[in-house]
Structure 1
Amino acid sequence: MGDFSGTIDVERLISYGDDLIEVFMNRRDVNNFALSLEGVKMLQSSCEADFSEVKNLLEAEYRRKIDECKQRMDDAKSEVIADADIEFLQKELDEEIQKEHLLKEELRIVSDEIDDLEQQRVSIEERRQFVKKLEKDDLRAQIWKQRK
């Protein structure tokens, strides 16, 4: 976490807490927040499923293409073909390997995006827990005031 060596502005903190409580006192806001959280969870689940499917498809497709290129190279070597043909096949293999590297990079980017979505989901969940705590504290304060 960050360095908290400075002093905390208590009035700003209390004001922020009051504003937050005010927002969540409106039942519609709480329901909207809950719906948003549910939407984030569904989005994350969908993204994870899509990511897994895309990853598997890409890996299978490029593994197949690489295997095809290797097979063609093996066939070419066994038939004692001309150097130009070998160079062509090598170039084709190199291109396929380059495509594979690009797809792995894209896969990494998608994975990073999913990680970011997961972090957002965790952050929203933490905020939701914080709001619940604030609501409980507010309810306790109201009960305490009523007893006095």
Structure 2
Amino acid sequence: MVLLVGAHYTYAEVPLFDWVRDTFGFERNHYDRVGHLAQGFVPAIAIRELLLRTSPLRPGRWLFSIVLFCALGISATYELIEWLAAILVGQGAEAFLGTQGDPWDTQTDMALAGLGAILAQMVLGRTHETQLRKEDQIVI
């Protein structure tokens, strides 16, 4: 849903976040920040489940770190695709990228994806393990 809303309005022009920007005096529409947080949060549990089901990894620091690094890799790949598209588009690059004048937009986007992956694992990790145990899908 986050992607569909962002695609419909463009991330820099989602009306609810225009209202938030204007109400709180922000310099930019922060909807794309929500999108990048979700870009780390959503795939983290899928990556975690894939690794728990198909690898010898078990819950702990290594699994946590590898899931985080996978989510960061996905985010970095997305940012590189955006960069390539901006080069191909040319003059409309600023509008396409939606950086809204922020020179640190790419780095912030990747940091938010990393934060999303960390939050997903911290908030949902134990529940995820409990569900896998109940299904007898994995020994944890």
By the TM > 0.5 criterion, same fold?
no
The alignment's TM-score, normalised by the length of structure 2, stands at 0.33
**Greater fraction of residues in helix:** 1
The alignment's TM-score, normalised by the length of structure 1, stands at 0.31
Report which structure shows greater RCO (CA 8 Å, sep ≥6): 1
